[in-house]
Amino acid sequence: MGEILRMEGISKSFPGVKALDNVNIVVNSGEVHALLGENGAGKSTLMKILNGVYTPDEGKIFVKGKEVSIHNIKEAQELGISIIFQEFNLCPDLTVADNVYIGRHKNRFGFVDAKYVEKETQKILDRFKLNMIKPGDVVMTMSVAQMQMVEICKAMSFDSEVVVFDEPTAALAESEIEQLFMVIKQLQKEGKGIIYISHRMEELSKIADRVTVLRDGQQVGDSFDFASVTLDELINRMVGRTMDDKYPKHERTIGEVFFEANHIRNKKVNVKHIDVRKGEILGIAGLMGAGRTETARAIFGADPVSSIEVKINGRKVGVGSPGQAIKNGIAYLTEDRKNEGLALRLDCEKNINMASMKKISKYGFVINKTAEENAKHYVDALAVKTPKLGQLAQFLSGGNQQKLVLAKWLSRQVDLLIFDEPTRGIDVGAKFEIYKLMNELSDQGVGIIMISSELPELLGMSDRIALMHEGSIVGEVEAKKTTQEEIMAYITGLKTNETECVGNE
C-alpha cells in the first residue's frame, strides 16, 4: 500500500478563529480514511484546502510523494483529487453522459462527439456494475442515490486517485448505502485513496480502515486504525467529553391514545391506521420511497390525498391544509429544513413567529415588542446559538436551524409533533440536545411521530416503531423488544405481520 496523499502540518486561520492547527493526514492507496469531527471542527476547511478553495497558511500537500500547491478546483482535478459533496453539482436537465463529461466534450470538426462520451460513460458504469443507470438517462428523473453514483462516475472520468466523500449517506436509505459501499469497495480494489466524512458512527465500522479525528481545528492524537477503538471511544474523542449514551436515558409516562389517523390514501401511500399516545414517541421506519414522508405530509394536510380521517381525542378533525392541521394542534418539521422549514433570508425572530401570527399581533398589526419577546423566549429555552435575533437564518449551523424550526412550533402549543429526519446532517453534540428536547416535550404530554433512516436513533428514542414498506404499514414493534435485524426484515419486505398492524381495526 503506497502513500497517495499526504497533508503535512496544515494550519489555516480566519479573522478571529484558528480553523486548522497543524493537521497531518496520510491517505494510502486502497484505504478508506474516515475524517471525523463535529460541525465546525475543521473538516470542510481541510477539504476546501484540498480542492484549492482555500490556501493554507502553513503546511504542505504531497500527491504521490511530490509536493504540490492547489489553487482551484480544476488544478485539484488534474492532480487526481475529486470531492463528492453533499449537494451535487449536476445539471438536472442533462443526461448522465453529458454530466460526466460536462465542459470536456470531445470535439469532432467542431461538433460534439456524443457517441464517444456515451461509450466512455458506459465503461465507467460497467466498472462499478451500475447497470440500473444508462448514459442517456436524464438526471432529473433519477433518485438521490443514483445522482450520487453519477457524481462518482464524474470523478472517475478524471482518473481521480483520491476521492473524498462528504457525508455521502446523509440522504440515502439503508439499501442504497449498501450499493454505495460496494462502489467504494471497488474504488479500494482499484487502489484509490478514499477520504470519508460522516456523522454516522455505525456505518463507519463497515467501511473505515483508518481514522483521523478533528476537534476545534486540532487533530486529536495521530491517525489510528479503526479496529483499534470502540465506537464510544471514538465519540469521546470527537466531542471531548464523555457522553454516557448517545441517546439520553429517559423514563416516559405514556398516556391514552389521543391521535389517530385512518385510511390515509394517495398515489404513494395506503395506510390503514396509525395512532399516537400522549407523551409517546412513535418511530416510523422504512426505506427511502416507503412513503414515510408522504404519510406525515398527508396527516399535516401538505399534499392532496384521496382519503384520510383524522381524530384527535376521539373527535374528527379536518386536515385539508397545513393551516387547518396546525389549528388542530398538529405540527410537522420537514426533512428538508432549508427548502421547506425555514425562510433562510428572513431573520430568527420572523422565522420563529411565522406560525404564531395571532400571538404577536392585535387587530392585524404586529406588536414588535411581543414578537421579540416571544422569539427571545424560545431562543433562550432551546439554547439557539445566534448572536442576535436579527440574524438571518441562513447563517446558523444545521443544528441551530433545526432548533429554530422547533422553536416555531413550540411557540404554538402543539399536541402532536411530527419530526421528519430530525437529526440529519447535525453533529453529535447538537443531536443530543435535540433528543433531550424531544424527551422534555414528551414529558409535557406532547405526542411525537419520528421518521428516521437511522435505525439506532429509532431504537434509542422511540417507544413503538411503525414499520413501512411500499406505502403501507406492515408491522409494529416495541422499541425495547426488537433488533435492527428485525426492523430491516420488515422494511425490506421480507416479513409482514398484517394481523399485528398498528392498532389494526
Partner 1 sequence: MNNSNSVKNKIARTKFANFLGSMAGLFGLIIIFSVLTRTFLTVDNFISICLSVAVYATLACGISFVLIIGGAELSAGSVVGVSGAVFCVSLRAGIPAFACILITLACGMLCGLFNGFLVTKMHLIPFIATLGTQYIFRGATYIISNGSSISVREVASEGDLPVLKFIGSGKILGIPMLVYIMVICAIILSIVLSKTVLGRKIFATGSNVEAARLSGINTDKITTIAYMFSGGMAGLAGVMLTTRLLSAQPTAGMSFELEGIAASVIGGVSMMGGQGTIPGAVMGAFIVGIMRNGLNLMGVNTFWQQIITGVIIIVAVWADIMRRRREASKK
DSSP secondary structure letter of residue 392: B
By the 10 Å C-beta count (0-12 exposed, 13-18 middle, 19+ buried), 67 is classed as: exposed
Instruction: Name which of 35, 38, 30 is nearest 46 in CA terms.
Output: 35
- Closer of 216 and 372 to partner 1 (Cβ): 372
- Closer of 112 and 357 to partner 1 (Cβ): 357
Q: How far is the CB of 322 from partner 1 (least distance, A)?
A: 5
Other C-beta atoms lying within 10 Å of the C-beta of residue 327: 13
- Closer of 273 and 412 to partner 1 (Cβ): 412
CA–chain centroid gap for 7, Å, is 28
Q: How far is the CB of 244 from partner 1 (least distance, A)?
A: 34
Strand runs labelled E in 393-441: 416-420
352 residue type, one letter = I
- Closer of 89 and 321 to partner 1 (Cβ): 321
3-state SS class at 132: coil
Contact window for partner 1 (CB under 8 A) among 259-267, 276-284, 385-393, 436-444 = 385-393
| 144-157 vs 114-127: helix crossing angle, rounded to 10 | 110
- Closer of 13 and 496 to partner 1 (Cβ): 13
Instruction: Name which of 141, 415, 176, 117 is nearest 278 in CA terms.
Output: 415
Contact window for partner 1 (CB under 8 A) among 129-137, 386-394, 455-463, 485-493 = 386-394
- Closer of 5 and 393 to partner 1 (Cβ): 393
- Closer of 394 and 497 to partner 1 (Cβ): 394
- Closer of 404 and 459 to partner 1 (Cβ): 404
Write each residue from 167 to 196 as x if it is in contact with partner 1 (CB under 8 A), else as -, in one continuous string.
------------------------------
Cell of 472: 403501507
Asked if residues 284 and 455 have their Cβ atoms less than 8 Å apart, the reply is no
Contact window for partner 1 (CB under 8 A) among 92-100, 233-241, 388-396, 482-490 = 388-396
- Closer of 229 and 389 to partner 1 (Cβ): 389
Q: How far apart are CA 244 and CA 38, in angstroms?
A: 17
Asked if residues 285 and 475 have their Cβ atoms less than 8 Å apart, the reply is no
**32-36/193-197 β-pairing:** parallel
Q: DSSP states of 32-48 as a string? A: EEEEE--TTSSHHHHHH
Q: How far is the CB of 339 from partner 1 (least distance, A)?
A: 6
Cell of 261: 389517523
Q: How far is the CB of 355 from partner 1 (least distance, A)?
A: 4
Residues 63-122 that bind partner 1 (CB under 8 A): none
- Closer of 255 and 390 to partner 1 (Cβ): 390
Work out whether 381 is an interface residue with partner 1 (CB under 8 A): no
Q: How far is the CB of 159 from partner 1 (least distance, A)?
A: 35
Binding-site member from 189, 241, 388, 481 for partner 1 (CB under 8 A): 388
By the 10 Å C-beta count (0-12 exposed, 13-18 middle, 19+ buried), 485 is classed as: exposed
Q: How far apart are CA 226 and CA 213, in angstroms?
A: 11
Question: To 5 degrees, how large is the angle CA 492–CA 497–CA 499?
Answer: 155
Asked if residues 383 and 403 have their Cβ atoms less than 8 Å apart, the reply is yes
Q: How many residues bind partner 1, per CB under 8 A?
A: 38
Binding-site member from 389, 479, 488, 489 for partner 1 (CB under 8 A): 389
Q: How far is the CB of 301 from partner 1 (least distance, A)?
A: 9
- Closer of 33 and 292 to partner 1 (Cβ): 292
Q: How far is the CB of 18 from partner 1 (least distance, A)?
A: 17
Residues 321-380 that bind partner 1 (CB under 8 A): 321-323, 325-327, 332, 334, 339-347, 349-350, 353-355, 357, 361, 364-366, 368, 372-373, 376
Contact window for partner 1 (CB under 8 A) among 320-328, 444-452, 461-469, 474-482 = 320-328
Instruction: Name which of 314, 28, 72 is nearest 191 in CA terms.
Output: 28
Q: How far is the CB of 364 from partner 1 (least distance, A)?
A: 5
- Closer of 307 and 321 to partner 1 (Cβ): 321
Cell of 185: 469497495
Cβ neighbours of residue 179 under 8 Å, at least 6 residues apart?
145, 149
CA–chain centroid gap for 251, Å, is 28
| Cα 425 to Cα 49, 245, 344, 479, distances in angstroms | 22, 19, 17, 24
Q: How far is the CB of 376 from partner 1 (least distance, A)?
A: 6
Binding-site member from 192, 278, 408, 424 for partner 1 (CB under 8 A): 408
Residues 296-315 that bind partner 1 (CB under 8 A): 300, 302
Q: How far is the CB of 285 from partner 1 (least distance, A)?
A: 23
Residues near partner 1 (CB under 8 A):
300, 302, 321-323, 325-327, 332, 334, 339-347, 349-350, 353-355, 357, 361, 364-366, 368, 372-373, 376, 388-390, 395, 408
